[in-house]
Amino acid sequence: MKRLVDNELIYGRLLPVAEPHLVARYNKALRAFGLRETRLEEFRIDMTGFSPEIAEELGDVQYLDPNGVNRRFVVLTPGQENLPVVHTQFSNTAGLMHQFFDNNRRAVHAVTIKDALFGEIEEPIDVVTGVEDLLQIEEIRFRVMSAENMLGKATELRSLVDRLKTSRDGWRDDAMLTRMVELARETGDIRQNALVPDKLVFAHKSFWANHFGGVFVFRDDRSTTVICDSHAPGFRRSRPWEVSYIDIADHARIFDFLSKSGRLQLPRASWVEPSGFFAHRAEMAVDDLIRRADPSVDLAGTDRIWLQTWMHRNAALLAEEGTYPFLQEAMRELSATGQVKMREVRNDRKLMLCRAIPDHPEQWLINRLLARLAPFDFVSRFIFDKHGFYETYEGYSESFRAHVVDVLGTTYLNNKAALRARLYGLEGYQDDA
């Protein structure tokens, strides 16, 4: 992973924490979680407060996510809102954190002046033993505490203020007034600064969970669809009267579901040609075939002439594997007719011609599923399915790892938004991309 770290393809854009008072506040959160304090004087954190350095020190990358549910978080500064989430078991952890920041902006800003917020994203389960447990997560609640007990002190001051207003002779209670002054010195004027978060409960809509090889849960108004390995515990047994199940290996049914539910953008010249989507996929397919044919091949410094020569010499291999000639034929058909006749396409190839509808609210989740089903496209995998990318990357040869890092550095990291807009029609900022 060192090459990925050095090129900021993992643990990039994290926030350095070096101020002693912030380290101390972080340690109070660790103690509250039942973990030992860090001895590090400096470390980095993501949006949720996860630190790769502390994970290494503790020897536990799951230290904020011990059972894969009820994710812990530590907020030292409002600036964490703009950081990525680099380690999570659920695809919508970042989205939920954004909702927390959005709905409690004043409280987060006020509290973190003197304190740190920490707690759990509470789900109605303590452990995931089967699909049914994941289906139970329909909403989550943020359970929030503070390192210096600022929230508790603000709540106490609020109750004392209320008592002073409603009591006839509360102003005669010297002990109460003294306590109010003590609290106000720490919390400030709570009439001006909202220290207690306003909204802590949020809906848990469609999501991906990193359990049983990866589980996709798509929620519509009147139905729920689960896509995962058919060997996952509870598959087709949990709520079969209201949940549809699709084996992740069943590309035909996945295509049917995504297209009929209005989630899939079918191949049309209007978006495929300006995006270069098919050409990108064809290039990725050839790279992957070279890797499989000769894992030790060094692609550094190769150009299109070298690539064309290799393809001529291995024409039979390309034809036998079939992905590259299929994509070339799809490009010719698209150029001639403006569309691809999907009924004539093999079921296992239909999805590699499609992308999520760009303005669909689940566009990132849909593209994550599509990227997972086209593992040869490591660029798409890195953008939408980093868990899967990192797992696959471990199986690459050293020479191909160098090639992957080089391609991602030149095609994606230089201008992430531009590449996402061109290939996938996605606009705007995305926290964990």
CA distances for 310 relative to 27, 315, 378, 405, angstroms: 56, 8, 21, 22
**Six-digit token pair at 65?**
């996510």
* 55-66 residue pLDDT tens: 999 999 999 999
* 253-270 residue pLDDT tens: 999 999 999 999 999 999
Q: Report residue 433's pLDDT band, with 50, 70 and 90 as the boundaries.
A: very low
Q: From CA 228, how far away is CA 372, in angstroms rounded?
A: 11
Q: Which of 19, 83, 11 is nearest to 54 (CA)?
A: 11
Question: How many CA atoms lie within 13 Å of 29's alpha carbon, on the beta-carbon side?
Answer: 26
Cβ-contact 175, 160 below 8 angstroms: no
**Average pLDDT over every residue of 393-401:** 93
pTM of the model: 0.88
Higher pLDDT pick, 93 / 170: 93
Which residues in 190-241 belong to E strands, given as ranges? Answer: 201-203, 207-209, 215-219, 224-228
Q: From CA 275, how far away is CA 257, in angstroms rounded?
A: 25
What is the sign, positive or negative, of the torsion defined by CA atoms of 50, 53, 58, 59?
positive
- Find the range with the poorest average confidence among 19-28, 139-148, 172-181: 172-181
Higher pLDDT pick, 195 / 126: 126
Higher pLDDT pick, 300 / 150: 300
Angle, alpha carbons 384-386-387 (nearest 5°): 125
Higher pLDDT pick, 44 / 3: 44
Q: Report residue 180's pLDDT band, with 50, 70 and 90 as the boundaries.
A: low
* 201-257 residue pLDDT tens: 889 999 999 999 999 999 999 899 999 999 999 999 999 999 999 999 999 999 999
Q: From CA 371, how far away is CA 364, in angstroms rounded?
A: 10
Q: Which of 82, 99, 198 is nearest to 151 (CA)?
A: 198
Higher pLDDT pick, 402 / 161: 402
CA distances for 55 relative to 30, 239, 326, angstroms: 12, 37, 45
What phi-psi label fits residue 239: left (phi over 0), alpha (psi between -120 and 50 degrees) or beta? left
Q: What is the pLDDT of residue 194?
A: 56
**Six-digit token pair at 279?**
């050409």
pLDDT higher than threshold 80 for residue 10: yes
The residue with tokens 């991309």 is 433
Which residues in 26-171 belong to E strands, given as ranges? Answer: 43-45, 72-75, 117-122, 139-146
Continuous H helices in 208-346: 251-260, 269-275, 277-293, 304-313, 315-321, 323-337
DSSP-derived secondary structure letter, 287: H
Which residues contact residue 25 at a Cβ distance below 8 angstroms, ignoring those fewer than 6 apart?
76, 115, 116, 147, 148
* 321-365 residue pLDDT tens: 999 999 999 999 999 999 999 999 999 999 999 999 999 999 999
Question: How many CA atoms lie within 13 Å of 187's alpha carbon, on the beta-carbon side?
Answer: 26
Q: Which of 418, 229, 267 is nearest to 357 (CA)?
A: 267
